[in-house]
Structures are given as C-alpha cells and as structure tokens.
C-alpha cells in the first residue's frame, strides 16, 4: 500500500485512480473504509474478495453531497430531516435504491445504505471530485474495524494499492444504521457513532429496534449483526461497572477509566479512557482490541460501558467481540 497524506494533488490523483478501478483505504470519522467507485462493478467485486466478505453482505455507499445521495436513492421527508440534522456524520440511512446502483453493491436488496462522512479529507475527495464510493470497513471479514491507516496496512496492505492517511478516526465506532420506510417509520439496524437518543430528540418519537432478534449465520438483513463480529482472537470476558472481575495471574483487565488501584501482582491493567468519557472510550476501543491480540494473555476481562448514548454502541461491539464461535 502506498500512503498519501491528502494534498490537493494527492486527492486529484486518488480520484483518477478510483475512476480507473483501483481500491483505496479511505479515512472517515468513524473507521477506515475500503473504497471503490460505486459505478464500477468489477472494482466493487474486488472489495468482497479482498475482505473475504460474503457477497450476501451489502456495502455502504459514501457520498460527498446530499445531491449525490438524491441521485442514488429515493428520499422521503423523514430521511431528509435526518440528513439535514446529522450529515455529514456517523449516520447511515437505508433507503429504496435507484436503478443506477448495482445489485452487487446492495447484495440484491431493493434498498441502498447511504452516508455522507464528515472527515475533511474524505469530504474533499468525494465532494471535490463528484465521486460516490462503496466502502465497507477496511478489515478482514469478521475482524475488528480499523481506526488508523496502520491497521489497514498491517492486514490488507499487500492487496490495497492506495491508502489516504487521515490520522486516527475521530469517532472510532462504525456509523449508526437506520432504515427509513416509505411511510417514514425509522428502525435501528446497527447502533453506532451517532447516539440513538439524538435521533429520537429530532424525530420526537422513539426509534424502533429493527435488528433481528438472533441473526442467522448467512443471508441476513444486515450481516454486521452476526453474533460474532468485530472479534479479536484473544478470549474476552465482560463484566459490568458494578461487578468485580476475577482475573487469574497472567490475565489482564481492561477498564473503562483508570482504576484507583492496580488489580494485583501478575495481572496487567489497561484503561480505555482516563476518566470514563464515552467519546474517549469509543475512540480507543478498537485500537485496544487489536493491542490485546499482540499480547499473549490467555484471557482478558473487559468492563462494559454505561448503557446510554455511545455506551450502547460500545457495549454492542463488546458483546460481539466477546462472542465465541
């Protein structure tokens, strides 16, 4: 992978490479994406190949402007209200697709998932060059999403020619995915970087949980909902803030905030934030999960976040990271 820093010349060059069919590791404020020109079916097919992702799992399409998004999907007033409040940002809207979007990108679904990221380099590339890109998170299928370009380079570097370095991701968790029906009904498909409470405040009503109760193993509505996903190799054991972990010598504990006292001799302590701020925890979480895989702990105890705001998405990722098999 060749790393570019995002000068105006870099962006012009990368826009040309995307139009020529190349893949690009693209920074967004949530996680890094593995991007291809959405109108190039062969390039989009290579995304699945490089990630080892089943063709049944549809891709999110990233746009630089609302006008571009209007050309790709059929919008209604509720969707427009949500975009007006939360775009650009960590919100993906699932809307009826227009014919210009290929069935490969949507895995045969009649809907397309759309997002306008707010990372400045991503915006400049997409809006400045009138590009729309399909981009899943740039990790091997089932593994933790990358929040730094180095994460992508380490795992997919030999299969992705270009990497745009936008620094560490500002949010650190994937986008919140909402489906919006023709009647304007809003359902949650994946909790993420935009707290559901913020959406409910704008709508003035609750967002219904539209996640399948238990995801089947293949051919799903949203395979990000696979029980085991976002998974490091290290076995994880979760505990609540009001519980005490019971690590054995040689194990490690990851706290939400710096602990007042160390856990004891032979036990390694880590923390996701100094004081427990959910924003800080979200930013650090995936880097920590990767770091655990670089160590040799037979088991790591991980403290859950408070189940509000971003904590709901953090706990969703923790639950799946800890799921076995």
Whether the CA torsion 17, 20, 24, 26 is positive or negative: it is positive
The site partner of 313 among ligand TXA, Mg ion, none (C-beta below 5 to 8 Å per kind) is none
The site partner of 33 among ligand TXA, Mg ion, none (C-beta below 5 to 8 Å per kind) is ligand TXA
Least distance to ligand TXA, CB of residue 40, Å: 17
Structure tokens at 78: 């509720």
Residue nearest to ligand TXA (CB): 224
Whether the CA torsion 325, 58, 68, 32 is positive or negative: it is positive
Structure tokens at 302: 């991980």
Q: Which is nearer to ligand TXA, 92 or 315 (CB)?
A: 92
Number of neighbouring beta carbons within 10 Å of residue 111: 19
Q: Which is nearer to ligand TXA, 28 or 303 (CB)?
A: 28
When asked if residue 137 is in the footprint of Mg ion (CB under 5 A), the reply is yes
Tell me which residue of 134, 85, 94 sits closest to 222, measured CA to CA: 94
Q: Which is nearer to Mg ion, 155 or 256 (CB)?
A: 155
Least distance to ligand TXA, CB of residue 28, Å: 5
* Alpha-carbon gap, residue 11 to 18, rounded angstroms: 10
Q: Which is nearer to Mg ion, 6 or 33 (CB)?
A: 33
The site partner of 4 among Mg ion, ligand TXA, none (C-beta below 5 to 8 Å per kind) is none
Q: Which is nearer to Mg ion, 136 or 311 (CB)?
A: 136
> In the beta sheet, which residues pair with residue 133?
37, 62
When asked if residue 179 is in the footprint of Mg ion (CB under 5 A), the reply is no
Confirm if 271 and 257 have CB atoms less than 8 A apart: yes
The site partner of 232 among ligand TXA, Mg ion, none (C-beta below 5 to 8 Å per kind) is none
Tell me which residue of 245, 236, 176 sits closest to 211, measured CA to CA: 176
* Alpha-carbon gap, residue 293 to 291, rounded angstroms: 5
Q: Which is nearer to ligand TXA, 142 or 309 (CB)?
A: 142
* Cβ-Cβ contacts under 8 Å for 69 (sequence gap 6 or more): 63, 75, 83, 114, 116
- Candidate segments 3-11, 53-61, 133-141, 234-242, binder of Mg ion by CB under 5 A: 133-141
Least distance to ligand TXA, CB of residue 53, Å: 8
Least distance to ligand TXA, CB of residue 33, Å: 3
Q: Which is nearer to ligand TXA, 153 or 253 (CB)?
A: 153
Least distance to ligand TXA, CB of residue 58, Å: 3
* Helix-helix angle 120-128:8-19, to 10 degrees: 60
When asked if residue 147 is in the footprint of Mg ion (CB under 5 A), the reply is no
Q: In angstroms, what is the C-alpha Rg of the chain?
A: 19
Tell me which residue of 139, 147, 91 sits closest to 115, measured CA to CA: 91
Q: Which is nearer to ligand TXA, 300 or 313 (CB)?
A: 313
- The number of C-alpha atoms within 13 Å of 57 and in the hemisphere containing its C-beta is 20
- The number of C-alpha atoms within 13 Å of 254 and in the hemisphere containing its C-beta is 25
Give the binding site for ligand TXA (CB under 6 A): 28, 30-31, 33, 57-60, 92, 94, 106, 109, 111-113, 115, 135-137, 174-175, 177, 189, 221-224
Least distance to ligand TXA, CB of residue 199, Å: 15
- Candidate segments 101-109, 129-137, 163-171, 296-304, binder of Mg ion by CB under 5 A: 129-137
Least distance to ligand TXA, CB of residue 265, Å: 40
DSSP class of 261? S
Q: Give the footprint of Mg ion on this chain (CB under 5 A).
A: 137
């Amino acid at each position: 992978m060749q790393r570019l820093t995002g000068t105006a010349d870099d962006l012009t060059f990368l826009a040309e490479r995307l139009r020529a069919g190349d893949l690009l590791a693209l920074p967004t404020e949530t996680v890094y994406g593995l991007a291809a020109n959405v109108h190039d079916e062969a390039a989009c097919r290579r995304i699945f190949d490089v990630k080892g992702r089943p063709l049944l799992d549809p891709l999110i399409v990233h746009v630089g402007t609302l006008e571009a998004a209007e050309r790709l999907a059929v919008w209604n007033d509720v969707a427009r209200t949500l975009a007006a409040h939360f775009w650009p940002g960590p919100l993906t809207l699932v809307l009826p697709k227009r014919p210009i979007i290929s069935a490969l990108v949507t895995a045969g679904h009649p809907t397309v998932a759309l997002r306008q990221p707010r990372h400045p380099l991503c915006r400049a590339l997409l809006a400045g060059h009138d590009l729309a890109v399909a981009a899943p998170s740039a990790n091997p299928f089932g593994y933790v999403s990358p929040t730094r370009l180095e994460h992508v380079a380490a795992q997919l570097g030999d299969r992705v020619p270009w990497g745009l370095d936008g620094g560490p991701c500002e949010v650190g968790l994937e986008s919140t995915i909402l489906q919006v029906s023709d009647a304007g009904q809003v359902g949650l498909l994946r909790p993420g970087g935009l707290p559901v409470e913020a959406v409910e405040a704008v709508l003035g009503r609750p967002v219904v949980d539209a996640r399948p109760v238990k995801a089947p193993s293949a051919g799903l509505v949203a395979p990000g909902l696979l029980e085991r996903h976002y998974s490091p190799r290290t076995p994880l054991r979760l505990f609540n803030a009001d519980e005490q972990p019971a690590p054995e010598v040689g194990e490690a504990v990851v706290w939400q905030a710096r602990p007042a006292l160390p856990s004891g001799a032979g036990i390694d302590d880590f923390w996701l934030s100094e004081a427990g701020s959910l924003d800080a925890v979200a930013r650090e979480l995936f880097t920590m999960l990767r770091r655990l895989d670089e160590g040799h702990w037979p088991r790591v105890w991980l403290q859950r976040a408070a189940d509000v705001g971003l904590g709901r998405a953090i706990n969703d990722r923790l639950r799946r990271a800890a799921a076995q098999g």
